[in-house]
Structure 1
Amino acid sequence: MNKDAFRKWSQTAANWGADYRETVGKHPVRARTAPGEVTAKIAKSPPEQPEEMDAIFADFERDIVPGMTHWQHPRFFAYFPANAAQVSVVAEYLVTAMGAQCMLWQTSPAATELETVVLDWLRQALGLPEDFTGVIQDSASSATLAAVLTMRERALNWAGNQRGLANHPALRVYASDQVHTSIDRAIWVSGIGEENLVRIPVSGPQRALDPAELEAAIARDRAAGLLPTGIIACVGGTSVGATDDIAEICRIARDHDLYVHVDAAWAGSAMICPEFRSLWQGVELADSVVFNPHKWLGASFDCSAHFIRNPDSLVKTLAIQPEYLKTHGQDGIINYSEWSVPLGRRFRALKIWFLIRAHGLEGLRRMIRNHVAWSEQLAQKIAAENNFELVTDPMLSLFSFRYAPPNIDDLDALNLQLVNAINNDGRIYLTQTRVDGALVIRFQAGQFETTEEDVLSALGVILDCAASLDI
């Protein structure tokens, strides 16, 4: 591709993106593609000769786009959002055009220094104290892995990386059964092992980890010669928004000299609103916290904010400095590759900088407050309908409900049938989960450009689809 073609197709792609975002609400939210359908349209072998961009772009529109689920659809109410505010998309154009590998200060000084500044902007926005320092990870999974590796090294007096885990007591990490499966993977990858992830029972409407059970588990493990290592606390769990008592967990951790990592991947964005911060009261006592601006705040994927109270412990765990990565003649610099598991790093800070400047914190707060208010309205409307029940109350903008007409033997099968009917209908997109063993349907509002009408329209779709079921 020469410079003229690059200009032409860059403009074509930007125009396509603008048109797509303007019309995305007209598409069915979830792809209506059968397994293997896209594969059948793609050549089985790579081309030996160059192909024309017109043909490649036409195939993209014809074969690829219809097989995409539209995460930027204003009626995407499934999972959690993966928002890409339009200003964030513009910033990503620039990042992609520059194509910088930002692993060290010297490989892109502006990327490193902007990351330092915008992470401090986010720290201030969340109300975290000044002794927290931030780094951008690709996802909460990577931040949690880094936290688990740090708590492992801390418990082993920084010897695990050199000597391995042999000849040590088994390390024990504590969490509820409401935490994300990324915690399980971090436990696997760190070498601690799934059997040493201790699941603490939950209690109360917030489905919070039971502090008394946590203390009892720590005491049992110490008595058995095992090595308590850390606690992973949850704020806004993926299933139905389970939220632990962070202050009490940190008190217990301090008494037992354990590391605390707080996973607030989704709900953390809401903490830019002071009225929601009671949900993580005590977070200033934690050792590390993660939230994903790419979920609810509007930064396009991938962009995870990882805050650490003592970054030296993280760097001590992860830093490797071969000669070819050293920056000579410069003192006091930060190389964020030493704060992450991957060496390579994208220029993720630019989209946060654009996003916060273009919308302002108050604009972002207004969006989040609206989503919470509209979800609460919808939850009340569903609860008032005959044959429907609210299973879990709204946690911010997330709640779950169940279709429960009388004289139905298998309500789990019926609700699975309903959620499939809703998603095949195409007007909205929901997912299911289980609460106390029962299958329920979950709803969350969080797409950056959704409106009150979009959210409240979900009721009509749910009722229409329920009425269509053969029961």
Structure 2
Amino acid sequence: MTPDEFRRYGYEVVDWIANYWANLETVPVSPDLRPGEIAARMPDRAPETGDDFAAILGDLDRVVTPGLTHWQHPAFFGYFPANTSGPSVLGDLVCAGLGVQGMLWLSSPAATEVETVVLDWLADLLDLPPAFRSRAGGGGVIQDSASSAALVATLAALHRASGGEWRRAGIRQRYTVYTSTQGHSSIEKAARIAGAGDANVRAVEVDDEYRMRPDALRAALDADRAAGCTPALVVATIGTTSTTAVDPLPEIGAICCEYGVWLHVDAAYAGAAAVCPELRWSHAGVEYADSYCFDPHKWLLTGFDCDAFWLADRAELVRALTVLPEFLRNAATESGEVIDYRDWQVPLGRRFRALKLWFVLRWYGAEGLRAHIRSSVTVAQRFAEWVRADGRFEIVAPHPFSLVCFRLRGADAPNEELLRAVNATGQAYLTHTKVGGRYVLRLAVGAPATEERHAAATWKLIQAAADGRVTGSR
């Protein structure tokens, strides 16, 4: 493809995306398909000769979009949001066009330095502790997801707990990891990958608001020490996946300091809320954290994948992960004056993810980002008011951000049928979880185009389904 062809077809692709966004509200949120239907629309083999670009673009409409769940749809209320935006897409386009590999400072100095500065900007916007700034010996890096952040935090914690023995000789004793019963599944997976084993992950009990109980954490630490284990890592959560509970960081952090255990704070979804000063209460105690992460790709208008991960002392992670073969040696690295992000992650290679985040921060500014967060929170709180006003339903957990967990009073089966009926209409999309052993519906607000009217229409649809006036067919 020549530059001129790229220019011509690039305009067509941008037009296609713009039209997709403009028409989202008119299409079903989720597809009505059987497994294999999309694959059946594709040939068995790749083409022998190149296709015409018009045919490729046409197959986006014929093959791809009919099989999508539309995460940017204003009635998408499932999981947590997976935002994107015009500036983010354009930043990603520039990243793809440049095609640089930012594994070392030397391999593209701008890729490293823009990322370092942008993560410092973001730390300022969230009012994170000074230790997380690059100039203070900490600093931030973009991981692909909070799952990868949990893994590298686990590796650093094992390195510190073992005095470096983990890196040199592998796991030779039992190292234990702690999170609440509401902690994310990525913590267990990280323990498996790191070699600690999921049998050494402790699920700490929670209180009536689904927050980790500090007394239960202390008891678990004491029990493991008495059994000859070495506590290595505690993962506290700001905004758990099921209910957005906020663990009591001041108490947990103090315990981690007392026991010498690495504290990682997972704020994957709710961290974005801290751009709003009135929501920073959720981050009280984060100054105790050795590492912290949140996902701009969830609620901060930045396309997947983009997890912002900070360390209070970057040297600890670098010592755990650095491997320097001869072909990567260079004067800049050996000077100690540069950051090489290859030492902050599992892969060697890395793309220029910071560009899309840089574009987003510059386009929206702090005011625009706060407006987006506040709008989502306002819509969610209105939805919660409507639920409370209908005596058939109950709210099952606090809802400080933009997730509302609710259910029909009584047995689980009607709630399961309610979710199936609502989602089968294609007019809205919700998900479920289990809270206190009960089947619960989750409505998560955050798509960029969502307004109160979309939540209101969804509530009417839910009420109709509860009345038996929605059959679930399209």
For structure 1, which runs of at least 5 residues remain unmatched after alignment? 406-410
Query: Would the aligned equivalents of 2:80 and 2:446 in 1 still touch at CA under 8 Å?
Result: yes
| Residue range with higher mean Cα deviation, 146-155 or 59-68 | 59-68
Does residue 430 (structure 1) correspond to residue 433 (structure 2)? The answer is no
Q: Does 1:319 align with 2:325?
A: no
Cα pair 1:174 1:199 within 8 Å, conserved: yes
SS in 2 for 1:338: helix
Letter in 2 for 1:15: D
Q: Deviations over 1:53-94 (max 9, x none)?
A: 222222222111110111111111110011001111111111
Which residue in 2 is equivalent to 1:236?
Answer: 239
**Residues 74-125 of structure 1: CA deviation (Å, up to 9, x unaligned):** 1111100110011111111111111111211122111111101100001001
Alignment partner of 1:30 is 2:30? yes
The one-letter amino acid paired with 1:396 is: F
**Residues 210 and 344 of structure 1: is their aligned pair in 2 closer, same or farther, counting only changes over 3 Å?**
same
1:250 is aligned with what amino acid? G
Report Cα offsets for 1:241-266 as digits up to 9, x if no partner: 12210110010011111000000000
Q: Which residue does 1:393 correspond to in 2?
A: 398
The residue type equivalent to 1:219 in the other structure is: D
Check the 8 A contact 2:464/2:470 in 1, yes or no: no
1:61 aligns with 2:66: no
- Separation in 2 of the partners of 1:60 and 1:368? 31
| 1:49 partner amino acid | T
Q: Name the SS of the counterpart of 1:307 in structure 2.
A: strand
Question: What code does the residue aligned with 1:230 have?
Answer: L
Q: Given the alignment, which residue of 345, 367, 373 partners 1:368?
A: 373
How many angstroms apart in 1 are the aligned matches of 2:300 and 2:408?
31
- Alpha-carbon distance in structure 2 between the residues aligned to 1:426 and 1:469: 12
Question: Which amino acid in the other structure matches residue 179 of structure 2?
Answer: A
**Does the 8 Å CA contact 1:292/1:305 hold for their aligned counterparts?**
yes
After TM superposition, the structure 1 stretch with the greater mean CA deviation from structure 2, 55-64 or 208-217, is 55-64
Secondary structure at 2:398's aligned position in 1? strand
Secondary structure at the counterpart of residue 242 of structure 1? coil
Residues 159 and 320, structure 2, Cα contact 8 Å, conserved in 1: yes
Extract unaligned runs of 5+ from structure 2: 133-138
Structure 2 partner of 1:449:
449
Instruction: Give the equivalent residue in structure 2 for 1:308.
Output: 311
Q: Does 1:359 align with 2:368?
A: no
Distance 1:349 1:421 in 2: 41
> How do residues 13-412 of structure 1 correspond to structure 2 at under 5 angstroms?
13-132=13-132, 133-166=139-172, 168=173, 170-205=174-209, 207-328=210-331, 331=335, 332-404=337-409, 411-412=411-412
SS in 2 for 1:393: coil
Supply the AA of the counterpart residue of 1:379: A
Alignment partner of 1:337: what SS?
A: helix
CA shift, 1:469, in A, is: 5.7
Structure 1 residue 49: deviation in Å? 2.4
Letter in 2 for 1:462: I
Determine the C-alpha separation between the residues in 2 that align with 1:26 and 1:93. 27
Measure, in 2, the Cα distance between the counterparts of 1:152 and 1:329. 29
Identity value in percent = 42
Query: Does the 8 A contact of 1:374 with 1:456 survive in 2?
Result: no
Q: Which amino acid aligns with 1:364?
A: L
CA distance in 1, matches of 2:11, 2:106: 31
Residues 28 and 427 in structure 2, CA contact (< 8 A), matched pair in contact too: yes
What letter corresponds to residue 245 of structure 2 in structure 1?
A
For 2:102 and 2:232, the matched residues in 1 are separated by: 33
The more displaced of 447-456 and 270-279 is 447-456
Q: How far apart, in 1, do the equivalents of 2:75 and 2:351 lie? A: 30
Give the 3-state SS of the residue equivalent to 2:83 in structure 1: coil
Which residue identity is paired with 2:149?
A
Give the SS at the match of 1:289: strand
Secondary structure in 2 matching 1:175: strand
1:192 aligned partner, one-letter code:
A
Q: Structure 1-normalised TM-score?
A: 0.95
The 3-state SS of whatever aligns with 1:399 is strand
Give a deviation string over 1:229-280, Cα, whole Å, max 9, x none.
1101011001111221011001001111100000000000001111111112
- The whole-number CA distance in structure 1 between the counterparts of 2:357 and 2:318 is 24
State which drifts further: 146-155 or 395-404: 395-404
| Residue type of the alignment partner of 1:25 | E
Q: Is the 8 A contact 1:245 1:280 kept in 2?
A: no
Aligned-partner Cα distance in 1 for 2:332–2:435: 58
d(CA) in 2 for partners of 1:11, 1:214: 56
CA distance in 1, matches of 2:59, 2:457: 34
In 1: Cα distance, 2:294 partner to 2:327 partner: 33
Residues 236, 395 of structure 1: 8 Å contact kept: no
The CA RMSD measured in Å over matched residues stands at: 1.4
Aligned residue pairs, count: 462
Aligned partner of 1:413 in structure 2 is: 413
Match of 1:209, SS?
A: coil
Deviation at 1:150, TM superposition (A): 0.6
How far apart, in 2, do the equivalents of 1:86 and 1:211 lie? 43
Contact 2:245-2:398 at 8 Å conserved across structures? no
Deviation of 1:50 (Å): 2.1
Deviation at 1:320, TM superposition (A): 1.2
Please tell me the residue identity of whatever aligns with 1:321. Answer: L
Paired residue type of 1:189: I
- In the TM superposition, residue 204 of structure 1 has moved relative to its aligned partner by 2.7
Distance in 2, matches of 1:463 and 1:315, equals: 54
Distance 1:86 1:240 in 2: 30
Residue 408 of structure 1 corresponds to none
Give the letter for the 2:211 counterpart: A
CA distance in structure 1 between the partners assigned to 2:304 and 2:454 by the alignment: 23
Contact 1:418 1:469 (C-alpha < 8 Å) held by counterparts? no
